[in-house]
Amino acid sequence: MLIHLPIVVMATLSPIPVADGVPKLDIAKECSFEGGTSEAQQRCVRDENEALQQLQGSWSQYTAADRSSCTTETVTGGYASYIELQSCLEMARDAAAAERGTSPGTESQPKQAEGPDRTVGEAHDR
C-alpha cells in the first residue's frame, strides 16, 4: 500500500504553470495513463522526478517564449510530462542555435558563407 504513496502525493499537484519556475505537473496521472505494472509506474515516476530536477537546474537557460510555448504544448491534452517538457525545450534551444549557426551551448559564431561554386555535400577537391 505504501508503494503507491508517491503517486497519490503527486496526484494532488495540478498542472498550473509557475511564472518564474518549472510548472507543477501531475506526473502520477501521466504515469498511470501509460499503464503497465506497478514497477513500470514507479520507474515512470522516478524518471519524471529526475527530469524535474534537471529542469529546475536549467530552467533559466531557456527563453521565456520557449518556456511558455513548451509548457502550453506539454500540458495540452490533460497529460503532462517533465520528460516531454525537457525535450521540447531542448529542441527549441537547438533549433534557435541552428538558425544562428552555432552549436548549442557555444558562443555565437557566424555561418561560413558558401561560394557560388559550392554545394552542400559536394566534395571540396576538384
Q: Domain extents for the chain?
A: 2-100
What is the rounded average pLDDT of the residues 69-84?
Answer: 88
C-alpha cell at 111: 555561418
Cut 0.85: pTM above it: no
11-61 pLDDT tens trace: 434 444 445 799 999 888 888 887 788 899 999 999 999 999 999 999 999
Return the residue matching grid coordinates 498550473.
16
Taking each helix axis from N to C end, the angle separating 27-34 and 38-58, rounded to the nearest 10 degrees, works out to 140
- Cβ pair 26, 11 in contact under 8 A: yes
Compute the distance between CA of residue 92 and CA of residue 95 in angstroms, rounded to an integer.
Answer: 5
For residue 104, the model assigns a pLDDT of 67
For residue 14, the model assigns a pLDDT of 41
Q: Give, for 46, the enclosing helix (H) or strand (E).
A: helix 38-58
